[in-house]
Structure 1
Amino acid sequence: MIVLKEFEFDAAHYLPSYNGKCEHLHGHTYKLVVKVDGRPDMEGMVLDFSLLKKIVQTKVLRRLDHKLLNDVIPNPSAENIAIWVWNRLAKPLYGENHRLCEVEVWETRTSGCIYRGEFYEGELC
C-alpha cells in the first residue's frame, strides 16, 4: 500500500551548464509528492500523515522554500532536486512497516520527474 502527501514550495534556480532559457535565474512554484510504501500497523496506518508532514518540512522544505536552489543543490534540475530530496528522506522514512518509495518533483503543472531511489537506477519502465 502506498500513502502520499503533496507539498508546494517556491524557489529560484538557474542551470549554469544548460544552453537555453533555464540557464538564467528564474523561479517556480514546485510541487513535491512524497510516497511511502508499507503495511498498515495496528492502528490501521502505514504512516501518520502529520508525522510525514513534519519530516518533509524539517528535512526538505526548510532548506528549499523561498531559497536560491543553487546555494543548496548543485545544478538544481528537477532530476537533481528529486535525488537530493530522496537522500534527505530515505533514512527518516524507513520504519518497521514502511519505507520511502517515490519522490515526484514538478516544476510546472505539465513538467516534472519521478525518482524511485538507487534500486531503480538504470532500469526502464
Structure 2
Amino acid sequence: MYKVRVVMSFGGAHNLRNYNGKCENLHGHNWKVEAYLKGDELNETEMLVDFTIMKKRLKEILETLDHKYLNEQVEFFKVNNPTSENIARYIYQGLKETFGKLTDRVAVWETDIQAAEYWEQE
C-alpha cells in the first residue's frame, strides 16, 4: 500500500451555530489542511499520484474557502455547521470528485494542538 500527503493552508472566518461559548461569535482561523491519497498500485511513472496534480486540486478546493465567511459565502456551510469536522468532509468530498477511491482522509488543524479528520469506510 502507498500513501501520499500534501499540506496546505487557508484563512477564513466562521461562527458555530447551536453552540454556547466563544465560538458562537464570528472569528477566524488559519486552518492547516493535510490531504492523503492511498492505493496499492503505482502508475506508469511509478507514482501513486503526481504531487503537482494533487497540489493543484487541493489548491482549487481551498480557494473556495480562503478569505471567506464560511457561513454565508460557501453554500455547503449554509446548511452544514462550519466545524473543523465538516470542513474536513467538504475538502474530502472535493478530492474524491477527482481522485475517487484513492482519496484516503483529510485532517484540518484549527490550531497547533487540535485537529479534526474525515474519511469514509470502504
Using structure 1 for the length normalisation, give the TM-score: 0.86
Question: Equivalent residue for 1:83?
Answer: 89
Unaligned residue ranges in structure 1 (runs of 5+): 121-125
Indicate the larger mover: 25-34 or 78-87.
Answer: 78-87
Q: Which amino acid aligns with 2:82?
A: P
- Relative to total residues, which structure has the larger helix share, 1 or 2? 2
| RMSD of Structure 2 on Structure 1 (CA) | 1.3
Q: In the comparison of the two structures, how many residue pairs are matched? A: 115
Q: Does 1:109 align with 2:112?
A: yes
Which amino acid in the other structure matches residue 24 of structure 1?
A: N
Structure 1's consecutive aligned runs of 4 or more residues displaced over 4 angstroms after TM superposition are none
CA deviation after TM superposition for structure 1 residue 24, in Å: 0.4
Residues 1:15 and 2:16 aligned together: yes
Once residues 61 and 106 of structure 1 are traced to their aligned partners in structure 2, the CA distance between those partners, rounded to angstroms, is: 14
- The residue that corresponds to 2:55 in the other structure is 53
SS in 2 for 1:28: strand
**Structure 1: which amino acid aligns with 2:49?**
L
Q: Structure 2 matches for 1:26-45, cutoff 5 A?
A: 26-38=27-39, 39-45=41-47
Cα distance in 2 between the residues matched to 1:61 and 1:84: 10
Deviation of 1:40 after TM superposition, in Å, equals 2.0
Aligned-pair identity (%): 37
Give the structure-2-normalised TM-score: 0.88
The amino acid that maps onto 1:21 is K
SS state at 2:98 partner: coil
The whole-number CA distance in structure 1 between the counterparts of 2:42 and 2:5 is 14
Unmatched tracts of structure 2, length 5 or more: none
My pick for the range that moved more, 48-57 or 35-44, is: 35-44
